[in-house]
Amino acid sequence: GGVATCHALEFLEREYCFFFQEFRALLSDYQSHLQVFCLVAMEKPVSLSPEHIRDEKVKVLQSVSCINHDEVVLGQYDGYKDDPTVPNESNTPTFASVVLRVHNERWDGVPFVLKAGKALSSKKAEIRVQFKDAPGDIFRCKKQGRNEFVIRLQPSEAMYMKLTVKKPGLEMATEQSELDLSYGLRYQDVKIPEAYERLILDTIRGDQQHFVRRDELKAAWEIFTPLLHDIDAGRLKALPYQPGTRGPLEADELSKRMGYVPTLGYVWAPPTLAKF
């Protein structure tokens, strides 16, 4: 049984690499990232009608400016080309960090950094909104990072506000903490459906709210198709990175250039019943 299992895993790995190589699956995955991006950036719809919601999503996509090459970092993890089905000269990215800019009154000047990758240090999907420092902040020299609102989609679904608080005690010192709503802890008696369970139920009900409309799909591909052409033409190169890391160092440098300030020494952990 062990040999058969190894052969099966090897076959699946090769098939995966072939699919990834031929169809550029990572940048195709960005279509799902755009759905989340739209929900964050869209204006309030007229109603909760699926058509009204999708109208606002289309408006956001149509307001996205052309992607600037200086605001794109592509990566390919070391070892990807070891598979015999992958050409030695492959430029297929296994990591991408792309800045989107929405040219409208609300979001003009605010960068949206979309990041996705394979073989990284952690597997998660989250929306992270970082707030600028307040003018004249008297705690600036003592802060460990900026305040952030985080929506964690998976794993361990949660919404939490990361902020600077005073440490308990007599000393005037601060630390990073959070106001946390972890779904698994707060709603222990509620069955939280998987993503595809919800979509199947919506299909049965005829609710198209979470499905992509034709004009929405067209607007989404108009954003990334020029980028795909540039990758095919060799105008953008994938940078190497080690598996188990955050990706190319250039991606973190891009985020910093966009104004993002990393928090040092803080790691969010889902709360457990043992803490209460």
Place of tokens 């990706």: 247
Distances (CA, A) of 72 to 47, 62, 77, 141, 253: 36, 20, 17, 32, 11
| CA dist., res. 132 & res. 26, Å (int) | 31
CA nearest neighbour of 276 among 150, 148, 188: 188
Among 7, 33, 103, 229, which one carries the catalytic annotation? Answer: 33
Cα 224 from Cα 257, distance rounded (Å) = 22
The 72-77 sheet, strands edge to edge: 111-117, 95-101, 72-77, 239-241
Q: How many CA atoms lie within 13 A of 108 on its CB side?
A: 3
Residue 33 designated active-site: yes
Residue listed under structure tokens 């004249």: 136
Task: Give the separation between CA 14 and CA 221, rounded to whole angstroms.
Answer: 28
Helices 25-41 and 50-62, axial angle in degrees (round to 10): 110
Select from 52, 17, 22 the least CA-distant residue to 207. Answer: 52
CA nearest 57: which of 43, 47, 71? 43
| Residues annotated as part of the active site | 33
